Structure 1
Amino acid sequence: MALPMPISILEAIGIVQKGVALYKTIRKKPEEIAAVGRRMQDLEFYLSELQALVDDKQRNPLPNLRPEQTQRIGTVISDIRVDAGDVYEILCIWDSAGSFQKVLFTVGRNPRRLDELNSSLEQRRQDLRDILQLMGLFALKPPSETRPTSPAAPTRADYGVIFVDPFNLGRSKVAEGYMKLIREWTVRTGGAFKVKFAHSAGMLVRDRSDCVDFIESLPGRMVVNGVAKEANAMAMASLFDNKYFDYTFKPGIRASMMKRAHRTDAQSQSRARGITQNIFKTYDYILVFTGREYERLLLLKKGLLQAHGPSIAPASKGRIIHLGAYLNKKGKPNDIADARKDENEDVSRANWNTTTSQIKLAVKAFLKNELGWQQPERGAVPAY
């Protein structure tokens, strides 16, 4: 389906790519020129991600968007085309003359114009990030009449899921544990569950991470210095210390999430772990809790693709999803923040209960919308 917009994504990509190609050939450039060039590189990546989603015949979300949402995307794409055209003109002048004065003359002798353009490109980047999150949400469950299911089509039951937050102590551990509880509940009551394995990791944890340099090179001056601590006890209590899933499998899952980690690899699985360069080809879904985490993963994916090529992140794997998208029916994701601290920098069990409730709602919605999970009937008791 073609985009019902005044300008196509491909046309915008073409203009941005012209600017990026020229930017890469320029050796000596002031910071003002370098800044807009870097922004253009980011736009190229985000636009390519957006185009890939639109081209996916199985998940094309456009038919599910409201008219105002489609119009918003068109406006952003048009704005990018205009800004990218201005950048390309400036780069052409610099490349031919190497004169900052001539560049300023072209943009109206306004030294602030380049700063304004840089700010505008940054806003377009944020707009694209929001659009990708929106499109990802509406690609989750397209209308049944647009995608009939063939009875002969094989059903996958080997999906891999990983939850990522900064330090792999609270939210990601809660989500991993909850996914495992749901799996046992579903399978032991005779239902189908398509997730074969669920893990969690911390983007800022050094232990067992082989992409520290990539992460620390991302915008934002992130430092990967998190140590391999055990799961937050209060977070785990908010998940396990209640009447829910009060069956024989619950203690075993809790124990596996809380193991001490100083002897064998099997015992160390519950400790905080960093992410690896293979994350985008090992897992089908990478689930995050905030817009910042979503953007960091996108940028990491971009860096790994540039360093290693397409094999490091196959198109069919490593789909990044903002879990908070399931908490807002209007399409703009709600961040699922870490449990709120009080004035003494302490976190109460009540605050963790609130955060855990949000995570549980979002995880169940993900399973239902993306993988067609059917919740066991009320009162269903596991057979073993």
Structure 2
Amino acid sequence: MALDPGTILSVIDLIKQTVALYERIDGLPQQMTNLGRRMESLNIYLVPLEAFVKSKNTASTAYARLFPGQKEELAKLLGNIKLNAEKVHDLFERYEKGILSRSRDLVFRTKWAGQIWFSLVDSSPEKIQTLMDEIEYDRRILNDYLTLMNARAVWERPIAQVPASPAPTRPSGSRKYDILFVDPYNVGRSIVAESLVKLLGQATLKAKLDWRLNLVHSAGFFVRAGSDCVDVIERLNYSYPSFKKPLIAGGALPQDVALDAVFDNKTFEQPFKKTFRNSLSARRSRGLTKDTFKRYDFVIVFTSREHDNATKLKQALGDKYGQEVVAKGKGRVLHLGAYLAASGAPKEIVVPKVTKPGAEGRQQWNAKVSQIKTAIKGFLKKEMEWVAPEQMPVRS
């Protein structure tokens, strides 16, 4: 699907038509009502996007922020949004007109018969739920890209004027998520992020609060150890030559100064802190596996370059292995720096200039750990509905 203003506006127009169609139909079965509300939720993001696209200078500048791999995924995303919108529009249109089958020109004789058919046969609860899940997943990815493009300055003002639709229902604590932090070599930032999430998790559970994470791991993009997709990474069509770093053997220990910045302080002074430190100190760097984007719900990176690389890898693995390595609603690639500010472009969480032990290295890693912790808390609150303990465990 081509990514140009005309194409984007055609998708937006289709969503508008679908929402208008839903709003004028009375007596919809509950599942179809839920589907219509999900389309309204998507429309909340697409209506302001229309103003953003029509503002040519702003849109051009924002779009230029994306790298080629990100632009390819955004085009694919809009194509999928359009495909699902067409399915929903057809469903509502057939219900409104009483059309049982377009191919056989069959119509319903009575409205109640139509309700039974759409509720139990043509659009079973399972089918509708799958469609709603896809729409919600696409909405979240779209929001990620609006953030990456720094489009908030344009769309946050009009979005406040749009009546909010009911939020998708998600019972508290009903689902656990798996996340993976990825940086090039898995000895610094990714290990720090993994450590901080596990410490926050233990503090949250100790306070008897809801914790929605199950697995929390980290890996290195350019690490051979433990990887079964090195061939794909080596041959990846990187957006720019500089995005490809040398592949290393792996098996390296975490940087001491990075771990010291996480653990050598008075925060989280509980028995589990020492256990985590001992475990992570012995960890060896490892690479990615071909099922990364199927196994984890979130694959979290630290810079725009790393986001583009991960997006490219996800596409390449899907092209090569298909459903064996990709799954709908899984493998959402996130830029952790997007959670550092309420608005504006994501902040790049780069490697400290000094990474060796010593006063200067420790000072720089202290600042980096603080930055990563702030971003992680933002991620947990937004994506996991996390409630922080009133008082983090600190030694008196």
TM tier, shorter chain? 0.5 to 0.7
1:234 aligned residue (247, 257, 261):
257
Question: Structure 1 pair 60/346, CA: closer, same or farther in 2 (3 Å)?
Answer: farther
SS at match of 1:184: helix
Judged with a 3 Å threshold, the aligned counterparts in structure 2 of structure 1 residues 355 and 154 are, in CA distance, closer, same or farther, namely closer
Stretches of structure 1 that go unaligned for 5 or more consecutive residues are 13-54, 81-119, 260-269
Count of matched residue pairs: 284
Please tell me the residue identity of whatever aligns with 1:160.
Answer: D
**TM-score using structure 2 length:** 0.61
1:256 paired residue number: 279
Matched, 1:305 2:323: no
- Normalising by structure 1, what TM-score? 0.63
- Superimposed CA distance per residue, residues 289-311 of structure 1 (whole angstroms, 9 cap, x where no aligned partner): 00010000011011111111244
Structure 1, residues 48-82: CA drift from partner, whole Å, max 9, x if none? xxxxxxx98877771696776454699869x99xx
- Preserved contact between residue 137 and residue 331 of structure 1 (Cα < 8 Å): no
Is contact 1:130–1:332 with CA below 8 Å preserved after alignment?
no
Per-residue Cα deviation, 1:324-368 (whole angstroms, up to 9, x for no partner): 111233331111001123999996100011111110000110000
Offset at 1:134? 7.3
Is 1:247 paired with 2:290?
Answer: no
- Preserved CA contact (<8 Å) 2:185 2:219: yes
Counterpart in 2 of 1:135? 143
Give the letter for the 1:356 counterpart: V
Task: Give the match for residue 7 of structure 2.
Answer: 8
Distance 1:344 1:369, change over 3 A: closer
Structure 1 residues 213 and 363: alpha-carbon distance in aligned structure 2, compared to 1, 3 A threshold: same
Assess, with a 3 A threshold, how the Cα gap between structure 1 residues 126 and 62 changes in structure 2: closer, same or farther.
same
The Cα shift of 1:126 comes to 7.1
Where does residue 146 of structure 1 map in the other structure? 165
Distance 2:229 2:9 in 1: 31
Q: What is aligned with 1:62?
A: 45
Identity %: 33
RMSD of Structure 2 on Structure 1 (CA): 4.1
Contact preservation (8 Å) 1:294, 1:321: yes
Question: Which residue does 1:338 correspond to in 2?
Answer: 351
Deviations 1:8-56 (A, max 9, x none): 34979xxxxxxxxxxxxxxxxxxxxxxxxxxxxxxxxxxxxxxxxxx98
Instruction: Note if contact 2:183-2:301 (Cα within 8 Å) is conserved in structure 1.
Output: yes
Query: Contact conserved, 2:257 with 2:357, CA < 8 A, in 1?
Result: no
Closer, same or farther in 2 for the Cα pair 1:309/1:190, shift >3 Å? Answer: same
Counterpart for residue 86 of structure 2: none
CA contact (8 A) 1:189 1:380 kept: no
Change (3 A) 1:222 1:379: closer
Cα distance, 1:340–1:187 mapped onto 2, change above 3 Å? same
What's the secondary structure of 1:350's corresponding residue? helix
Residue in 2 aligned with 1:367? Answer: 380
Amino acid across the alignment from 1:128: K
Task: Tell me, in whole angstroms, the C-alpha distance in 1 between the residues paired with 2:309 and 2:192.
Answer: 21
Cα offsets for 1:139-192 (capped at 9, x unmatched): 9xx9994343548x4743421000000000000000000000001000011101
